[in-house]
Amino acid sequence: MFSLLRPVFLALLAAPLLALAAPPEAATEHVKARLVSSQAAVAPGQRFTVALEQDIKPHWHTYWLNPGDSGQATSIEWAGAEAGPIQWPTPSVQAIGPIVNYGYEGRPALLVELAVPADARPGSRFKPTAEVRWLVCKDVCIPEQLSLGLDLPVAAQAQAGADAAQIEEWRREIPQPAPFAVQLKAAPQGVQLSGPTAGVTKAYFFADTWGAVAHSAPQPLKAAADGWTLDIPAGDEPLAAGKPLSGVIVLTTTAGEQAWTVSAPMPEGAGKGPGPADLSAPAAETAAAPAAPQSDLGLLPALALALVGGLILNLMPCVFPVLSIKALALVNQGNHRAEGLAYTAGVLASFALLAAVLLALRAGGQQVGWGFQFHSPVFVLVVAYLLFLVGLNLSGLFEIGGSFTGMGSGLAARQGLAGSFFTGVLAAVVATPCTAPFMGAALAFALSQPAVVMLAVFLALGLGLALPFLVLAFWPAAQRWLPRPGAWMDRFKQFLAFPMYAAVVWLLWVLAQQAGPDGVALALAGLVLMAFGLWWRRSSGASALGTLAAATGVVLALGMSAWIKPVDAASVASASTHEAYSAERLAELRAQNRPVFVNLTAAWCISCLVNERVALSRPEVSEAFAKAGVTYLKGDWTREDPKITAVLKAHGRSGVPLYLYYAPGADQAQVLPQILTPGLVIEAVSAANPRS
């Protein structure tokens, strides 16, 4: 009886195991994947090809062997079979702001050689399984994985499968070793890669090692009758001399496009490009939600975003008083258009100079971003002195060639235009610690572009800053909105001194973070010297001795700035309860599957300070952090920190603020807006933490 029921019992026992067998095809939310075999039956000891075909949702992409500036390569872990390395088809460039990734869209196929065990018995089954993981990205990046498997009969003679022809077609998409030799020569910013192929009209080199080349840098082509040369800047981790630089070179000629694998040893004396940079984050961190795509953004959208961002800068507390002063000047000055053009010229000249300095620093290998000059405590002190003098002038302690606002001044046209020009310069200077919406994508685009494009974007930003005053100057209807002249103007002019004094207080607070109490004491002494000298000049009726005393006070104050010395961050006291940001601490917390909020900020960044006051320091936000178990990490960019600069660059930003939220188990950060509200922060934390 038992012998009759034995097959039934065995079938019942085997049913759960069969149900658990990995299928050859499965799907996630964004990718369908299947294993395709070149064989219908395999022989003992045979090696054959299997393809992992991915059907990726439109507008999403996965990653190549070297994912580029961010991302994560697809991986396959095999069980039940010996497997060779993945054979990768030629990737495409996935440009996201200043970040350039290498990956695939559509239906790529990754090939792998499998080996059947030599002791496999004909009549048995060969059942390899694959644990496949990938990162799929669009506006966000999502890690996904599937378990796939094959079930092939083992026979004495192998038998080709129905998909063998498809496998061969996919194999032709795998770059093969180049039939020609390539050479590497040292260049100031990296290397020159050259080959003998004639008629090349387009070329691109995909390095298969992360950091060997600057992924986001242009690769200028020099084509000649006897060959081609590509200039390839070195990346964050340039290879040492003698190490092989290998990858895929894609050449376009009149005959079509062809991809080859190439390799050559690094030459002695190769330039190091922008220099090694610690991204201060594991690979998964750099797969954060990206900024506006560089290839899709283009010059015209970048100019538009810069113009809007500059326009919004006028509403920032650091710029608005300056705009008010110039608007007040229009009430009583006659040549409105000339004043508007002079003010605009001052703004544009300042932004052009800023762009030139950034270009010079970039050429010297420095990583710099928006507001970089405020890293210097001497610059902070000089700006504080300048705003203090402006405040004293508005308060009536001294006049620069007459009344500052033009009331009863009788100024010559040249003097008035000079005043407008330098007011534009002042507006540009005090605007640089501010970051407005729309600026981030435009500046990130600009800082990754050639000099002409970068200058154009910066000038568009300056034009946006100057636009309100320019409109008032050229549009008579807008001038009618201004109030009539009167005695109130002198009182309002004096009132505008107090925002300047408030800005001085803020700058002294910034200086305290950079140079400590001794630096603040020197700054205050300098302010006293300037005020005393100007008071003496006023009391003496602007005599020669009084003018000399005022000038001496200013010179002595500026001379004291040479004594300002930066202090270590650890020596600056802080009452905050947050933890200091570091890549190691972030990696540790994420390894523990804990939620993390990262705030990259600077003391001189007004937008950052406002966000901390109105959002991050609010009790309801602290309560949400505590409820969700969020660790709050704060990175301080007040003093230049190359590691934080690199993190900003990796996330498509040229400056602070940058807010990143890592949900438990997430492989990428959620990038929050540059202007925060308590609701935005709480929503981000709550959405990713169901227990909150």
d(CA 167, CA 52): 10
CA distance 310 to 344: 12
Mean local confidence (pLDDT), 79-106: 88
Nearest CA-CA partner of 513 in 358, 621, 641: 641
Q: HEC profile for 412-460? A: CHHHHHHHHHHHHHHHHHHHCCCCCCCHHHHHHHHHCCCHHHHHHHHHH
- Under the banding of pLDDT at 50, 70 and 90, the label for residue 363 is low
- How buried is residue 428: exposed, middle or buried, by Cβ count under 10 Å (0-12/13-18/19+)? buried
Interval 306-332 mean pLDDT: 66
Q: How many residues does the chain have?
A: 692
Checking if the pLDDT of 62 tops 90, the result is yes
Buried b (16+ CB within 10 A) or exposed e, 140-173: bbbbbebebbbebebbeebeebebbeebeebbee
Strand, coil or helix: 129: strand
| Phi/psi of residue 616, nearest 5 degrees | -70, -25
**pLDDT at 290 > cutoff 70:** no
Beta-bridged to residue 633, according to DSSP, are 579, 598
Dist. CA 238–CA 242, nearest whole Å:
12
Asked if domains 23-157 and 177-276 share a fold, the reply is yes
* Angle at the Cα of 517 from the Cα atoms of 572 and 495, rounded to 5 degrees: 110
For position 168, what pLDDT does the model report?
94
Which secondary-structure segment (H or E) carries 132?
strand 129-137
Tell me, what's the pLDDT at 505?
79
Question: What does the DSSP assignment read for 227-289?
Answer: EEEEEEEB-SSPPPTTSEEEEEEEEEETTEEEEEEEEEEPPTT---TT-----SS-TTGGGPP
Domain boundaries, the chain: 23-157, 177-276, 298-568, 577-688
Return the pLDDT at 333: 54
Q: Which residue would you say has higher pLDDT here, 367 or 512?
A: 512
The pTM score is 0.43
d(CA 350, CA 319): 14
What SS3 class is residue 60? coil
User: Which of 613 and 40 is assigned the larger pLDDT?
Assistant: 40
Which pLDDT does position 412 carry in this prediction?
A: 29
Give the whole-number percent of the chain exceeding pLDDT 90. 26
Q: Cβ of 244: how many Cβ atoms within 10 Å?
A: 14
Tokens 């192929």 correspond to 197
Question: How much is the average pLDDT of 523-540?
Answer: 77
Rg (CA), the chain: 32
Strand arrangement, sheet containing 75-79: 75-79, 129-137, 141-149
Query: What pLDDT was estimated at residue 372?
Result: 53
Q: Where are the beta strands (DSSP E) in 24-108?
A: 25-27, 31-37, 39-41, 47-56, 62-68, 75-79, 82-83, 92-96, 99-104
Question: Residue 413 pLDDT more than 60?
Answer: no
Query: Which among 166-170, 196-200, 283-287, 419-423 has the top mean pLDDT?
Result: 166-170
- Residues 14-35 pLDDT 10s: 444 444 468 999 999 889 999 9
How is residue 210 written in tokens?
């992360």
Binning pLDDT at 50, 70 and 90, where does residue 51 land?
A: very high
Q: What share of the chain is helix, strand, coil (3-state, %, to 5)?
A: 40, 25, 35
C-beta of residue 50 within 8 angstroms of C-beta of residue 24: no
If one counts every other C-beta atom within 10 angstroms of the C-beta of residue 231, the result is: 17
What are 438-455's pLDDT values in tens digits?
555 566 666 666 778 778
- Residue type at 171 in one-letter notation: R
In this structure, what token pair is assigned to residue 80? 């039940």
Q: Which amino acid is at 489?
A: M
Give 408's pLDDT tier (boundaries 50, 70, 90): very low
Q: What is the pLDDT of residue 485?
A: 53
> 577-688 falls under which CATH superfamily?
Glutaredoxin (3.40.30.10)
Contact 101, 108 (CB under 8 A): no
pLDDT of residue 7: 46
Nearest residue to 96 (alpha-carbon basis) of 369, 370, 367, 444: 444
Among 8-12, 237-241, 292-296, the range with the most confident prediction by mean pLDDT is 237-241
Torsion sign over Cα 604, 605, 606, 612: negative
Sole residue written with tokens 């200058």: 455
The mean per-residue pLDDT over the stretch 475-489 comes to 61
What would you measure as the largest C-alpha separation in the chain, in angstroms?
A: 127
* Interval 205-224 mean pLDDT: 88
Single out the residue of 640, 647, 645 nearest to residue 69, CA to CA.
Answer: 647
Percent of the chain with pLDDT over 70: 70
What local confidence, expressed as pLDDT, does residue 371 receive? 52
On the question of pLDDT at 5 being above 50, the answer is no
Q: Residue 508 pLDDT > 70, yes or no? A: yes
pLDDT at 256 over 80: yes
pLDDT for res 8: 44
Mean pLDDT of 275-295: 34
Q: If you average pLDDT over residues 509-532, what whole number do you get?
A: 75
Residue 107 has pLDDT above 50, yes or no: yes
Q: Are β-strands 92-96 and 99-104 bridged in parallel, bridged antiparallel, or unpaired?
A: antiparallel
Mean pLDDT for 495-513 is 75
Query: Topology of domain 177-276, per CATH?
Result: Immunoglobulin-like (2.60.40)
What is the predicted pLDDT for the residue at 683?
A: 87
pLDDT bucket at 404, cuts 50 / 70 / 90? very low
Question: What is the CB neighbour count within 10 angstroms for residue 621?
Answer: 23
d(CA 400, CA 577): 47
What would the pLDDT profile of 631-651 be if each residue is shown by its tens digit? Answer: 999 988 776 677 887 788 777
d(CA 90, CA 102): 9
The crossing angle, in degrees rounded to 10, of helices 320-332 and 336-363 is 150
What's the mean pLDDT when you consider all of the chain? Answer: 76
pLDDT at position 48 over 90: yes
Which pLDDT does position 105 carry in this prediction?
94
Nearest Cα residue to 239 out of 217, 208, 200, 202? 208
**pLDDT one-digit tens code per residue, 550-601:** 677 677 776 766 666 655 444 443 444 688 888 888 888 888 888 999 999 8
- Stronger pLDDT, 403 or 94, i.e. the higher one: 94
Q: Domain 23-157 belongs to what topology?
A: Immunoglobulin-like (2.60.40)
pLDDT for 326 beyond 70:
no
Instruction: Give the side-chain half-sphere CA count within 13 A for 432.
Output: 24
Q: Which comes out higher in pLDDT, residue 620 or 378?
A: 620
| pLDDT value, residue 70 | 73
- Phi/psi region, residue 414 (left: phi>0; alpha: psi -120 to 50; beta: rest), is alpha
Residue 324 binned pLDDT confidence (cut-offs 50, 70, 90): low
Report the C-alpha gap between 504 and 404 in whole angstroms: 20
